[in-house]
Structure 1
Amino acid sequence: MQKRFKTKILSSLVFVLFVFLTSCKKSSSGEENLAALLPLIIAAEAAIVCPKSLPPTDIYIATTVVSANSNISGFSDPKKAINGICGAGELAGSLDVYALDITGTGATIVLSWGGKTVKNVSGDDFIVYDNSFRVSDESNTYAMDPSIIQVSIDNTNFCGFNPSYTGGNVNLMNSWNRFGSLRPVYYNMTTKPFTNSELFTKTNGSFLLGGGDGFDLDLLDPNDPNDINCDTTLANTIKTNGFKFLKITSAADMNNPNTGSKFPWPPGSYNGSDIDGVVARELQ
């Protein structure tokens, strides 16, 4: 099993290679070191090539950072959450991300599409991209940063999807239901492009062709205890008219209604969710 640490701990390919070469000298097993550091090398290479240009105009990426307050060294530029999707695949996470804090005011980012409205259409209406990656041969075991996803018309009253954590191993994807920041990202706008339609195409069960976590506005839950300003009227209004603002919060900053305490946080992560971007299916 590969070491369970997030790729965000390194900021350049040079540093990754330095660590790799140094560790190889200290160990008799170069293959073991390579297996552990392969995700970092892949992620660093992906960071170098992406993004090279403005996001494609036919991909409806959130374009505006409404609020962001974290200050994670090396990953504190909120523009990284709107400059395009730079996924690194199943076994590595992008380094082109904005990192949230685990708790506090810096644990949340709010994005928008510059005044445009994300419509409610058939199936998933938007996709949240983080930098999760698989950490063992078991397809359900991932290094991930679970996040709470909420939407709003006015950036004041938000509705969410009533996420549920079933307990057990925090690295098991099946333990987390209706969270963002779980699935790896295959879409890379520079090296592995997709059309907007392809990004919303399902494959392998709950996975999307381009990766990331999809959300369907029809599944908004006005009974989510974390959304104190949401009710059936507001939820139905968003389902009918769409939304303008998207809030992403590290799960550890929100209460688990089943326990009355905060959601657990995967060990080995020194900060919260890593935001690579959000893509809408249709805008108006």
Structure 2
Amino acid sequence: MKSKQKNLFLFLTFLWIFSCKESSSSSNDSLLALIPLLGASANATLCPKSLTLPSDTFLANTVVSASANVSGFSDPSKAINGVCGAGELAGSLDVYALERTGAGATIILSWGGRTVKNVTDSIDFIVYDNSFRISGDSNTYAMDPSVIQVSLDGSKYCGFNPSYTAGNINLIANWQKFGGLRPVYYNMTTNPLSNEDLFISTGGNFLLGGGDGFDLDDLDPNDPNDVNCDTTTANDIKATGFKFIKITSASNVTNHADGTNKFPWPPGSYNGSDIDGVVARDLQ
């Protein structure tokens, strides 16, 4: 094969293995063998190297609700044990995989009773998934879009009214206000960053540590998918902060701009969003 054809073959093989989420040791060995060939520097066995989370990084640390059962990726503790990003060209394996539909398509996390503050004129929290770039176009990614909602009391959830523009399903610009869009550069072992560093913008809605950032001031009480949210509830969260975050695979959420259909799901992925962690800017 020519070099370009060989690289394409390796990439497609990698994408197929990763998307299927096979649990066998042979599949994982194949995946780890392909990562360096694709230019990634991740080593899934190194992160996290400690059971103790860094005290100066405000990671969600409690699983409130999780019921997905994706073979090989069904341990919900992977969503709170630290962030293990694999960079621009690969996705982390240290994740909890949601299902595409049903109750297993959602996970709820918290900070153990603490409240995520609304910091003035700033991104307030970051959701980490395992998206990675799939072509020379910096805006084209293998994504796991997720709908993000937050709550102060655990019953009234408000979101950001995400929207999808029909077209190239892998074009990041076609997805607005979702999690699971951008690669994760933050890795607690190989690329440790401070909590402050994680919120540094590098332009184009990208952050130094990667992931997708959300500002509580952007909460939209008119989001038709929200549960018991109204203007008063949204304003309370903006003023007080939130304690709970709900992350749902976009394939399980109605795209009201397209009638009653669910948001589309990128082809080749047999499960829903893959959760690596959530970091808050500040807690109280």
Q: Call closer, same or farther: CA 1:192–1:93 in 2, change over 3 Å.
A: same
1:114 to 112, 115, 118: 112
* Residues 1:233 and 2:244 aligned together: no
Question: 1:142: how far off?
Answer: 0.3
1:55 to 47, 53, 56: 53
State the match for 1:65 in structure 2.
Answer: 63
Unaligned runs of 5+ in 2: 1-7
Question: 1:169: how far off?
Answer: 1.3
Question: 1:55: how far off?
Answer: 1.7
Q: Call closer, same or farther: CA 1:190–1:173 in 2, change over 3 Å.
A: same
Kept after mapping to 2: 8 A contact 1:7/1:92: no
RMSD: 2.1
Kept after mapping to 1: 8 A contact 2:144/2:266: yes
* Residues 1:283 and 2:283 aligned together: yes
State the match for 1:24 in structure 2.
Answer: none
Question: 1:12: how far off?
Answer: 8.1
What letter is aligned with 1:51?
P
Matched residue of 2:187: which SS? coil
Q: Quick one: distance in 1 between partners of 2:190 and 2:74?
A: 24
Matched residue of 2:43: which SS? helix
What letter is aligned with 1:165?
Y
Q: Quick one: distance in 2 between partners of 1:115 and 1:50?
A: 26
Any idea what the Cα deviations from partners look like across 1:18-73, whole Å, max 9, x if unmatched? 5798xxxxxxxxxxxx6x9845x948x52110001122110000000000000000
Q: Quick one: distance in 2 between partners of 1:79 and 1:19?
A: 22
Would you identify which runs of 4 or more consecutive aligned residues in structure 1 move more than 6 Å?
A: none
Q: Quick one: distance in 2 between partners of 1:20 and 1:124?
A: 33
Question: 1:170: how far off?
Answer: 1.0
Q: Quick one: distance in 1 between partners of 2:110 and 2:258?
A: 32
Q: Quick one: distance in 2 between partners of 1:146 and 1:86?
A: 19
- Quick one: percent identity of the two aligned structures? 66
Kept after mapping to 2: 8 A contact 1:46/1:86: no
What letter is aligned with 1:267?
P
Unaligned runs of 5+ in 1: 22-33
State the match for 1:194 in structure 2.
Answer: 193
Q: Call closer, same or farther: CA 1:79–1:137 in 2, change over 3 Å.
A: same
State the match for 1:90 in structure 2.
Answer: 88
Q: Quick one: distance in 1 between partners of 2:198 and 2:98?
A: 25
Kept after mapping to 2: 8 A contact 1:6/1:143: no
Matched residue of 2:256: which SS? coil
What letter is aligned with 1:64?
T
Number of matched residues? 269
Question: 1:100: how far off?
Answer: 0.1
Question: 1:92: how far off?
Answer: 0.3
